[in-house]
Amino acid sequence: MDLKTYLSSRRTIPSAHLSGPGPDQQQCNDILTLASRTPDHGKLAPWRFILVTGTERQALSDFCVARQKAIAQDEGRTLTEAEIDKTATTFTKAPLIVVLVSTAVEHPKIPLWEQELAAGAVGMNLLHASNALGFSAQWLSAWMAYDPKVCAKLGLTGTERIAGFFHIGTPQEGPVERARPDVSDITTHWST
Ligand SMILES: Cc1cc2nc3c(=O)[nH]c(=O)nc-3n(C[C@H](O)[C@H](O)[C@H](O)COP(=O)(O)O)c2cc1C
pLDDT in tens, 32-89: 999 999 999 999 999 999 999 999 999 999 999 999 999 999 999 999 999 999 999 9
CA angle 12, 147, 38 (to 5 degrees): 45
- Contact (CB, 8 A) for 149 and 67: yes
Nearest atom, ligand 1, residue 180 CA? 25
Residues 98, 100, 151, 75: is their CA dihedral positive or negative?
Answer: negative
Predicted pLDDT of residue 72: 96
- Domain total for the chain? 1
How far is the centre of ligand 1, averaged over its atoms, from the C-alpha of 29 (Å)?
23
pLDDT tens, 147-190? Answer: 999 999 999 999 999 999 999 999 999 889 999 999 999 999 99
How far is the centre of ligand 1, averaged over its atoms, from the C-alpha of 60 (Å)?
20
User: What DSSP string runs through 67-122?
Assistant: HHHHHHHHTT----HHHHHHHHTTTTSSSEEEEEEE-----SSS-HHHHHHHHHHH
Pocket of ligand 1 (CB under 6 A): 11-12, 138-142, 164, 178
Predicted pLDDT of residue 69: 97
In a domain, 1, yes or no: no
In a domain, 96, yes or no: yes
CA angle 72, 74, 79 (to 5 degrees): 15
Q: Which residue owns the Cα nearest ligand 1 atom 20? A: 12
Q: Provide the mean pLDDT of the chain.
A: 97
In a domain, 24, yes or no: yes
How far is the centre of ligand 1, averaged over its atoms, from the C-alpha of 139 (Å)?
5
In a domain, 128, yes or no: yes
pLDDT tens, 93-140? Answer: 999 999 999 999 999 999 999 999 999 999 999 999 999 999 999 999
Q: Which residues contact 102 (CB under 8 A, 6 or more apart)?
A: 46, 47, 115, 116, 119, 160, 161, 162, 163
Collapsed DSSP state (helix, strand, coil) of residue 151: helix
Domain with 27, as residue range(s), is 14-173
In a domain, 133, yes or no: yes
CA angle 89, 95, 96 (to 5 degrees): 105
Predicted pLDDT of residue 1: 87
Q: Which residue owns the Cα nearest ligand 1 atom 26? A: 12
In a domain, 107, yes or no: yes
Q: Which residues contact 68 (CB under 8 A, 6 or more apart)?
A: 79, 83, 84, 87, 143
In a domain, 132, yes or no: yes
- Contact (CB, 8 A) for 69 and 168: no
In a domain, 4, yes or no: no
Q: What are phi and psi of 164, to 5 degrees?
A: 165, 160
How far is the centre of ligand 1, averaged over its atoms, from the C-alpha of 144 (Å)?
14
CATH number of the domain encompassing residue 51: 3.40.109.10
